């Protein structure tokens, strides 16, 4: 049965709370190998003027404190952001108190077709941030896959008794200042882009760079042609000339060189 957000007096009876110790056990590899002591997972389904939320949390004491004090649930569908930029100040202060020792929290969001997943990490050290872990996509994805597998029954139990929230109680991470990316790109625009490919420096045109960037993401030549509004034949020509510039014998070799040159 769903639990309404306006009546959280029974939160300690909810799987979200009751199963926190098991969540902490599952997160032991994360906590033992990184300067991280808190993990939270939430899945949010937006249905009109309400949000259905379920998930898992490694710290029942923090979960009870946060929800019982009527703080807004944090949500990010577009980016990685820190608690400092979105969490209410008094809640942030409490997180870093002796009671919790949770500092420099990071919120990672992933938007799906009809729901949003959010993952939270915090550090027991005020001078260390979980950001380095979160921006390493390979290790982050492996941990999330591991967690969802190990905590599958916990997540299911929470899903059977979701929390119902009004949308006003969900605080989405949005920058108060939205930079103008188009103006920024125009300001740093260059006719040729210098890339260090192994032991050689190669100058790529913007179009060559765009095509390689899309190829690295797994796009086909037909898809690239549609995205860039050019013909598939033109895409082939750019790939051929780029291979010639880089002395790459195959497209696969070219993409390996290109991927290694990027951050």
Separation between Cα atoms, residue 223 and residue 220, nearest integer Å: 5
> Could you tell me the pTM of the whole model?
0.73
SS3 of 85, please? helix
Scanning 45-87, the segments in alpha helix (DSSP H) are 60-68
Domain(s) labelled CATH 3.30.450 in the chain stretch across 3-172
If 0-12 CB within 10 Å is exposed, 13-18 middle and 19+ buried, where does residue 238 land? buried
Separation between Cα atoms, residue 147 and residue 30, nearest integer Å: 10
Separation between Cα atoms, residue 67 and residue 246, nearest integer Å: 56
Chain segment 245-255, per-residue pLDDT in tens? 888 889 999 88
CATH of 3-172, one of 1.10.10, 3.10.350, 3.30.450, 1.10.3470: 3.30.450
pLDDT on residue 176: 46
Tokens standing for residue 178 = 């939205």
User: 181-261 — its CATH code?
Assistant: 1.10.10.10
Domain(s) labelled CATH 1.10.10.10 in the chain stretch across 181-261
Residue 17 has pLDDT above 90, yes or no: no
Chain segment 170-207, per-residue pLDDT in tens? 888 764 445 566 777 788 888 888 888 777 788 898 89
Assess contact for 102 and 80: CB atoms under 8 A: no
Q: Which residue has the tokens 């009671």?
A: 99
Query: Once rounded to an integer, what is the mean pLDDT over residues 238-260?
Result: 89
């Amino acid at each position: 049965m769903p639990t309404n957000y306006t009546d959280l007096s029974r939160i300690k009876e909810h799987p979200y709370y009751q199963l926190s110790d098991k969540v902490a056990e599952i997160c032991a590899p994360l906590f033992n190998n990184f300067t991280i002591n808190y993990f939270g997972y939430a899945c949010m389904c937006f249905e009109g003027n309400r949000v259905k939320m379920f998930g898992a949390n490694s710290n029942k004491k923090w979960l009870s404190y946060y929800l019982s004090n009527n703080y807004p649930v944090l949500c990010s569908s577009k980016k990685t952001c820190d608690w400092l930029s979105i969490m209410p100040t008094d809640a942030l202060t409490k997180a870093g108190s002796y009671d919790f020792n949770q500092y420099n929290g990071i919120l990672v969001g992933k938007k799906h077709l009809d729901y949003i997943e959010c993952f939270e990490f915090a550090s027991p050290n005020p001078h260390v941030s979980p950001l380095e872990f979160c921006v390493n996509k390979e290790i982050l994805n492996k941990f999330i896959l591991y967690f969802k597998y190990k905590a599958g029954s916990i997540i299911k139990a929470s899903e059977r008794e979701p929390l119902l929230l009004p949308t006003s109680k969900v605080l989405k991470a949005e920058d108060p200042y939205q930079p103008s990316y188009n103006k920024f790109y125009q300001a740093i625009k260059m006719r040729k882009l210098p890339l260090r490919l192994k032991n050689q420096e190669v100058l790529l045109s913007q179009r060559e760079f765009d095509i390689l960037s899309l190829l690295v993401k797994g796009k086909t030549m037909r898809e690239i042609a549609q995205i860039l509004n050019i013909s598939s034949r033109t895409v082939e020509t750019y790939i051929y000339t780029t291979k010639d510039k880089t002395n790459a014998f195959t497209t696969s070799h070219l993409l390996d060189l290109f991927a290694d040159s990027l951050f």
